[in-house]
Amino acid sequence: MDESPPTPGSDELPHLGTFARVAERGSFTAAALDLGITQAAVSQRIALLERGLRVSLFDRRAGRIALTEAGHRLYDYARRILDLHEQARRDLGGHRPPISGDLPIAASSVPGECYLPALLSSFRQAYPRVHVRASAGDSGSVVRDVVAGRATLGLVGKEAGTPALESRPIGTDLLVLIVPPGHAWASREAISLKALAIEPLVIREPGSGSRRALEAGLERAGASLAGMNVALELGSNSAIRDAVRRRLGVAFLSRSAVQPDLDSGALRAVGVRGLDLARHLYVIHHGRRPLSPAASVFLHFLKAHPLDPDRR
């Protein structure tokens, strides 16, 4: 949309495109990078719009911004106006402008390592002008990134558990108990919870979705991590796989993360009777922060391409 100041006597609201980008990104700095202008220019445009409307559109506190009630109301109008602008361009110009823009995503270990590369390859073919910036961490750090606005969307192995965030299931995952070849359990189909309780166990760090799924599964089975023989806590799936190979303990990891090791015989999977470790994977986003067109099409893409181990 035209970002030039209104002419004398005009009632046109200025800089709605800039306003919408700041609202969607939750950051003046990020919006400036997207638009290819300085942060000062973004601030000046928003100030001009606020002066014209005589309302504050953003709460600015402790280095963070959030839409005010008036800002939310204006965003609805702005999005409709901008969408109508693009519709007019399509109808009169005979073409559909492609979806474009910057899309920061944060992903925890399992969705990030096992699903995101193939997912982004397909997404890029469909939306080549969307620039995805992906970062990795555990589920806890992904939640913090989305809350702080460093990521628009997060892919995690547990629900956000934060009132400001919305969680949508996007696929399934299964944790399995892995042991090295030659282990006493390697040729068994399943062992008991009682046997598991005395075996050295390697687990993920607090904040990991895999750890939370294990804790929830044990609780449903009438057990807990406190009753297990926890030998090590490690911060990545690869470190845990290596620890199991070195016979430092057994571990529960996503079947998707260890499938190549199971196929090659480098590790073995063993069932635990009475323990159900199936879980959902989720996409999370800020419930009070409007989604950009790039984020919206990515959500629709996820719905059409659920994260399913059998479809990797």
CATH code of the domain in which 53 resides: 1.10.10.10
Residues 285 and 165 in one domain: yes
Q: Would you state the pLDDT for residue 144?
A: 93
227 domain residue, yes or no: yes
Residues 64 and 124 in one domain: no
Q: Would you state the pLDDT for residue 6?
A: 46
Q: Measured between alpha carbons, how far is 19 from 244 in angstroms, rounded to an integer?
A: 52
Q: Which domain holds residue 61?
A: 16-93
7 domain residue, yes or no: no
Residues 139 and 223 in one domain: no
Six token digits for residue 89: 């361009």
Which residues of the chain register pLDDT less than 70? 1-11, 62-63, 93-97, 308-312
5 domain residue, yes or no: no
Q: Would you state the pLDDT for residue 152?
A: 93
232 domain residue, yes or no: yes
Q: Would you state the pLDDT for residue 7?
A: 47
Q: Per residue in 6-48, pLDDT tens?
A: 444 456 789 998 998 898 888 888 888 878 889 999 999 999 9
pTM, rounded to two decimals:
0.70
Looking at residue 271, which CATH number applies to its domain? Answer: 3.40.190.290
Residues 197 and 78 in one domain: no
Six token digits for residue 5: 């100041």
Dihedral of alpha carbons 207, 170, 34, 3, sign: negative
Tally of domains within the chain: 3
Q: Would you state the pLDDT for residue 8?
A: 46
Residues 105 and 224 in one domain: no
Residues 176 and 275 in one domain: yes
Residues 165 and 286 in one domain: yes
Residues 262 and 285 in one domain: no
8 domain residue, yes or no: no
Q: Would you state the pLDDT for residue 2?
A: 43
Q: Per residue in 195-216, pLDDT tens?
A: 999 999 999 999 898 999 999 9
Q: Would you state the pLDDT for residue 35?
A: 82
Q: Would you state the pLDDT for residue 305?
A: 85
Q: Per residue in 62-89, pLDDT tens?
A: 667 889 999 989 988 988 888 888 778 7
